[in-house]
Amino acid sequence: MFFLTRFYTSLKKEQHLKLYNIKLNKMKSSTLKVVLVFGIALFMSSSAFAQSKDRQERKEPPTYAQLLKEMDKNEDGKLSEDEIKGPLKDDFAKIDTDEDGFISEEEFKNAPKPERKERKRD
């Protein structure tokens, strides 16, 4: 009788352990899912924040000194049509008001500002 009682008790413990392991595995699985969802949400929010931060930090237009440093290939202190690029090159004739073939600092300051591109809104 003692042996049967011990066997029954041992069987009950084994069943309890199996149930415990099943519950533990379910908890591990659900915990993993929660951590995964939280991680994805955190990643998405941080990338969205970074994008909005970039929008707030609008670039200021370059100064004439910066343009000279970047574009004055022959380092003569002047910007010719061959040296410049972008909107300045597109509007060179409008900007070079004295028609000497160079953009001076004064002409650069008085140059028409390029039109801003309109953003598409969803």
Query: Could you tell me the pLDDT band of residue 94, with boundaries at 50, 70 and 90?
Result: confident
Residue 38 has pLDDT above 70, yes or no: yes
Beta bridge partners of 80: 102
pTM for this predicted structure: 0.45
| Dihedral sign from CA coordinates of 25, 29, 34, 38 | positive
Query: Do 27 and 13 share a domain, yes or no?
Result: yes
- Give yes or no for a contact between 97 and 107, defined as CB atoms under 8 angstroms apart: yes
Check residue 50 and give its pLDDT.
59
Residue 121 within a domain: no
- pLDDT higher at 117 or 22: 22
Number of domains in the chain: 2
- Average model confidence (pLDDT) for the chain? 75
Q: Which domain holds residue 105?
A: 64-109
Check residue 60 and give its pLDDT.
80
Residue 119 within a domain: no
Query: Do 35 and 68 share a domain, yes or no?
Result: no
Check residue 5 and give its pLDDT.
64
Query: Could you tell me the pLDDT band of residue 3, with boundaries at 50, 70 and 90?
Result: low
Residue 85 within a domain: yes
C-alpha 72/C-alpha 91 separation (Å) is: 18
Average pLDDT over residues 16-29: 69
